[in-house]
Amino acid sequence: MLIRLQLEHRLWRVLHPDRLESFRFHDSAKAFDFADALARLHHTETGHRSSVRVEASGAYVEAVRYG
């Protein structure tokens, strides 16, 4: 599972692939911690690989991976 953390207009959005709505944060650290917790929980519950990708200014990096 890939959870995306996107910066758009000074607002961070956490996009979960199984949800239509995104989660919005003003604080980047809180947004990342939330995305990381989702990825870790998914891996713990399913045993499947999960990761968090941070996207900003047209670039991205896979920040964390479980499994």
Count of domains for the chain: 1
Domain region containing 53: 2-57
Q: How many CA atoms lie within 13 A of 3 on its CB side?
A: 29
CB 38 within 8 A of CB 48: no
* pLDDT in the model for residue 21: 94
* pLDDT in the model for residue 22: 95
Mean pLDDT across the stretch 56-67? 96
CB 4 within 8 A of CB 15: yes
In a domain, 64, yes or no: no
Mean pLDDT across the stretch 29-55? 97
CA distance 31 to 64: 14
Q: What is the pLDDT of residues 30-41, one digit of tens each?
A: 999 999 999 999
In a domain, 53, yes or no: yes
- pTM, two decimals, is 0.93
In a domain, 67, yes or no: no
Q: What is the CATH number of the domain that holds 36?
A: 3.30.2390
Q: What is the pLDDT of residues 2-14, one digit of tens each?
A: 999 999 999 999 9
